[in-house]
Chain A
Amino acid sequence: MTLGGCASLDALAPPVSPAMLRAGHGVGSGTLENGRLLLTTRCASCHRVYPVAAYPSAKWKTILAEMAPRAKLDTAQHAAVLAYLDAALAVPPTPPAR
């Protein structure tokens, strides 16, 4: 079973795409994938998965600065989550397939 196993999760936290990689300012796909994984697992061990689109990038930074110590994210993990959020927010959401 994988991250891709839940369609509603993809709507909340879109999977890493080529468009995200282009918007990721040189951040590798592994880092973005790890950021998404941490957002949907470690961060969501205490609360639900929040939609990436719920907040702008600056607000996410503030939230993550407060929450990262509680989720025991180290510096690299913190940076990976922020990189994923920035990349995901830079790409317009894909409309659902018909």
Chain B
Amino acid sequence: MLYRPSLLAYIFAATLLATAVSAFAGQRKFAYSYETLTVPVGSVEFENWVTWKHSSAGERVDQFDFRHEFEFGVTERLQIGLYVADWSLTESRTESRAVYQHSGVEVIYNLTNPNTDFLGSALYGEVQVGDRVIEFEGKLLLQKNFGRVSLVYNAIIEAEWEGESLQHLDERSGEFAQTLGVSYELTPNFSAGAELLHEVDLPEWRAAGKSIVFAGPNVSVRAGRFFATVAGLFRITDQNDEPDVQTRLIFGFDF
């Protein structure tokens, strides 16, 4: 499926504009880290993610990753998310293409509360299946709130099998990642802070590959049933074949 660059730019601009017009505050305070609390039982939330990765070394490449997700509060501690579709747009001087990647399910189980317990914690599991890829992801989520300040840490392990089709998944890879975030609640509807993302490739699960670190600011706003969270992370390690900068916008609506 091919799109012209002008259409891609329009889609991204429309996404940002829709967020700005809605003008909100954030249920999510972080774009790259999960918090430990689940959505209230009985609630249904629709979230859209856009992650823009920009690389300038060699050929200039812009990649836009999209996610459309429904989240359900099942019990006071259990949340289930359905990824309707993850897809990406890649733009370079020579090509512009859109690719469906996968759909999936995530489950978050809250163990302890960051306000009332010594440390908030939760477990996260995710399965994603595409037409030629299967992914599993597990996370340990930790969080502590000190008044207006929230601190979060995520440890992430990911396994992926890929191939020409689901019957021929002959490439395997993995990744270990960790995120760290801090956010300050300026008002109930506005928070700002910073996030750090550390990724370590595990090619073929044999040895650790590249170790990449990104860091940058985040902002979260909410108005009524809408929220939006954005973080812009800059690569601070020295791998020129990786994106220089990545920006993630999450905007959601609570039904």
> How far, in whole Å, are A31 and B134 apart by their CA atoms in the complex?
47
A residues sitting closer than 8 Å to B (CB atoms) are: 1-3, 5-6, 8-9, 37, 40-42, 44-49, 70-72
Tell whether B60 is near chain A: CB-to-CB under 8 Å: no
A1-B112, A72-B42, A72-B43 known; A48 vs B117 contact (CB < 8 Å) = no
Partner among A41, A47, A72 whose Cβ is within 8 Å of the Cβ of B185: A47
Docked pose: A40 CA to B40 CA in angstroms: 13
Cα distance, A49 to B148, chains bound together (Å): 8
Give Cα distance in the complex from A54 to B146, angstroms: 17
Partner of B116, one of A3, A46, A70, A72: A3
Partner among A3, A37, A44, A70 whose Cβ is within 8 Å of the Cβ of B225: A70
B203 within 8 A of A: no
Whole-angstrom CA separation of A70 from B40 in the bound complex: 9
Considering only residues 22-62 of chain B, those with a C-beta below 8 Å from chain A are 27, 37-43
Given contacts A1-B116, A5-B117, A70-B225, 5 further A-B contacts (CB under 8 A): A1-B112, A6-B117, A48-B188, A71-B40, A72-B73
- A41 lies within 8 A of B145 (CB): no
Residues of B within 8 A of A42 (CB): 40
Cβ–Cβ < 8 Å partners of A3 in chain B: 116
User: How many residues from B make CB contacts under 8 Å with A?
Assistant: 24
| 18 pairs, A vs B, C-beta closer than 8 Å | A1-B112, A1-B116, A1-B117, A2-B117, A5-B116, A6-B115, A6-B116, A40-B113, A44-B115, A47-B185, A48-B147, A48-B148, A48-B185, A71-B40, A72-B41, A72-B42, A72-B43, A72-B73
Closest B residue by C-beta to A73: B40
Given contacts A1-B118, A6-B116, A9-B115, contact A70 B37 (CB under 8 A): no
| B117: chain A residues within 8 A (beta carbon) | 1-2, 5-6
Q: CA of A46 to CA of B40 in the docked complex: distance in angstroms?
A: 10
The chain B residue sitting closest to A49, CB to CB, is B115
Check A2/B27 contact, CB under 8 A, given A42-B40, A70-B225, A71-B40: no
Task: Report the minimum CB–CB distance from B99 to chain A (whole Å).
Answer: 35
> How many residue pairs bridge A and B at CB < 8 Å?
53
Q: Are A8 and B118 in contact (CB under 8 A)?
A: no
Question: Which residue in B116, B147, B188, B225 is a CB contact (below 8 Å) of A41?
Answer: B116
Question: Which residue of A5, A45, A48, A49 contacts B37 across the interface (Cβ within 8 Å)?
Answer: A45
| A8 partner residues in chain B, CB cutoff 8 A | 146-147
Q: Which residues in B have their C-beta under 8 angstroms from that of A9?
A: 115-116
Cβ–Cβ < 8 Å partners of A44 in chain B: 115, 145
Q: Is B248's beta carbon under 8 Å from chain A?
A: no
Q: A41 near B115 (CB under 8 angstroms)?
A: yes
Within 8 Å by CB of A46, from B38, B73, B148, B222, lies B222
Q: In the bound complex, do residue A5 and residue B118 qualify as a contact, i.e. CB atoms below 8 Å apart?
A: yes
In the assembly, what is the distance between CA of A1 and CA of B188, in Å?
27
